[in-house]
């Protein structure tokens, strides 16, 4: 009789022998590290309550985790806009520290792979073959149940389950399904990356001068969009527009409600004091 070995979480990890996976939080970060197949995991509790202190603590933690070896891949859950502006701001600050450390040569990282939490949970379900007994299962329990299916069934914190689940999910996507985070290289739909954004409170002389400069420099069609009454945030609206139009090479003049700028305001240092503004947007990086 032919017998089949049940797939274990270790089978996925063998496909990416060296990596660091981070489930970042402003209070407790779950981590999983594999160095040549030797897997360790744990949590990092940040004691500081102020922004500068948190960044310093997290910076020192990452250096300790990545020192003395080259890490080909770091998995990081991407930051999405939340209802708590202060928490979102704190997450953005911590999320980008690994990039800065790598840029300045303080650690050696090959690639930083960011993935939306809904996407990696979808891939985790596919990888493990888990089928929920109820239609809407709590996310935390879903992750635990998925990981239990493939042999990760330990009495550890949820943060560790999240970091391990994300690692399994991305390895499954990249190594087994042969999909990658670079499938969207043709069209850029994230305003936080590759786009230059200029903000004006009105269409005054400075606005006109900037728009003329963009038109002369990039020779692109100008499209005016009024999103000032839209319920969704600007990042979502722009992503949907690029997806619908299947193009990202215009100069976009967007009227927005500044309350809908969300994390884009932090990322691009946009003003949120006035109720409305005009954004001149165009892609400046491939």
Task: Using the structure block, give the residue that is written with the tokens 């619908």.
Answer: 244
226-252 pLDDT per residue, tens = 999 999 999 999 999 998 888 888 999
| Pick from 78-82, 146-150, 208-212: least confident | 78-82
Calpha distance 153→284 (Å, rounded): 47
CATH level 2 (architecture), domain 9-176: 2-Layer Sandwich (3.30)
- Model pLDDT, residue 158: 96
Calpha distance 159→259 (Å, rounded): 31
Mean pLDDT across 40-54: 93
- Does residue 86 register a pLDDT over 90? no
Q: How confident is the model at residue 79 (pLDDT cuts 50, 70, 90)?
A: confident
- Does residue 4 register a pLDDT over 60? no
Mean pLDDT across 181-190: 62
Nearest CA to 150 out of 264, 2, 8 is that of 8
Mean pLDDT across 9-31: 95
- Model pLDDT, residue 3: 43
| Residue extent(s) of CATH 3.30.420.10 domains in the chain | 9-176
- Between the alpha carbon of residue 107 and those of residues 25, 35, 58, 100, 193, the distances in Å are 21, 15, 14, 9, 23
Nearest CA to 114 out of 12, 41, 36, 192 is that of 192
- Model pLDDT, residue 5: 60
Mean pLDDT across 174-193: 73
Long-range contacts (CB closer than 8 Å, 24 or more residues apart) made by 127-132: 127/12, 127/168, 127/169, 127/172, 127/176, 128/7, 128/168
Average per-residue pLDDT in the chain? 89
- Model pLDDT, residue 1: 43
Q: How confident is the model at residue 286 (pLDDT cuts 50, 70, 90)?
A: low
pTM over 0.85: no
Look up residue 267 and give its two tokens.
Answer: 């990322």
| Pick from 131-145, 204-218, 234-248, 257-271: least confident | 131-145
Look up residue 101 and give its two tokens.
Answer: 């450390």
Nearest CA to 191 out of 224, 256, 238 is that of 238
Calpha distance 240→228 (Å, rounded): 16
Look up residue 128 and give its two tokens.
Answer: 């493990």
Calpha distance 163→32 (Å, rounded): 6
Look up residue 225 and give its two tokens.
Answer: 């969009």
255-283 pLDDT per residue, tens = 999 999 988 998 889 999 999 999 999 98
């Amino acid at each position: 009789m032919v017998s089949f070995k049940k797939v274990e979480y270790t089978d996925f990890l063998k496909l990416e022998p060296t990596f660091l996976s981070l489930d970042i939080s402003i209070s407790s970060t779950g981590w999983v590290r594999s160095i040549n197949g030797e897997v360790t995991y744990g949590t990092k509790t940040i004691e500081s309550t102020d922004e500068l202190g948190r960044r310093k603590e997290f910076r020192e933690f990452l250096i300790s985790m990545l020192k003395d070896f080259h890490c080909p891949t770091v998995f990081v859950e991407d930051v999405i806009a939340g209802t708590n502006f202060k928490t979102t701001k704190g997450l953005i600050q911590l999320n980008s520290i690994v990039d800065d450390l790598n840029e300045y040569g303080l650690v050696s990282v090959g690639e930083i792979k960011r993935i939306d939490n809904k996407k990696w949970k979808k891939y985790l379900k596919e990888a493990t073959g888990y089928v929920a007994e109820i239609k809407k299962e709590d996310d935390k329990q879903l992750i635990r149940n998925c990981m239990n299916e493939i042999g990760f069934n330990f009495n550890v914190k949820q943060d560790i389950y999240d970091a391990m689940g994300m690692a399994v999910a991305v390895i499954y996507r990249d190594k087994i399904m042969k999909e990658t985070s670079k499938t969207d290289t043709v069209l850029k739909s994230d305003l936080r990356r590759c786009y230059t954004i200029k903000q004006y409170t009105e269409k005054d002389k400075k606005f006109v001068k900037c728009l003329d400069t963009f038109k002369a420099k990039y020779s692109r069609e100008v499209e005016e969009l009024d999103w000032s009454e839209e319920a969704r945030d600007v990042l979502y609206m722009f992503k949907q527009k690029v997806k619908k139009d299947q193009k990202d090479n215009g100069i976009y003049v967007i009227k927005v409600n500044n309350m809908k700028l969300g994390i884009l305001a932090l990322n691009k240092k946009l003003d949120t004091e006035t109720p409305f503004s005009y954004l001149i947007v165009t892609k400046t990086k491939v």
